[in-house]
Structure 1
């Protein structure tokens, strides 16, 4: 994270650009799950995350649950594995 001696813009310049491909639609146990974008705003700008849900109401319920229970996992994305 940036410190007083290392402003946010310098921190952002060091982040390498890589992509992750997500299927727009996937089938799970015979149900079609769609990808829904979730936007959020910070002092640094507007960002997006994505979640899978069966429909918009399911996505809204999942977002509410996420807001109430989410925690940041240790490690970077390269070290994260499925937890199911």
Structure 2
């Protein structure tokens, strides 16, 4: 695995509650791509995706690192 790889757990516990990883696919003229989000279940993931569609903005600057708390 590349030292630049981002590794995501399939599920994480937050305050004793399991959040599962869900893939989200989207298509552009360049092709089909994926992003991932954590949610409690598929319905929750759909609600988060809807909220993202309505409110998401691209941050200024480039991603320089990932930290784990």
**Which segments of 5 or more consecutive residues in structure 1 lack a partner in the other structure?**
1-17
**Which segments of 5 or more consecutive residues in structure 2 lack a partner in the other structure?**
none
| Structure number having the greater strand percentage | 2
Aligned length: 65
| Structure number having the greater helix percentage | 1
Q: Pick 1 or 2: higher relative contact order, CA cutoff 8 A, min separation 6.
A: 2
TM-score after normalising by structure 1: 0.71
Larger gyration radius, structure 1 or structure 2: 1
TM-score after normalising by structure 2: 0.86
The runs of at least 4 aligned residues of structure 1 exceeding 4 Å deviation read none
- CA RMSD in angstroms comes to 1.8
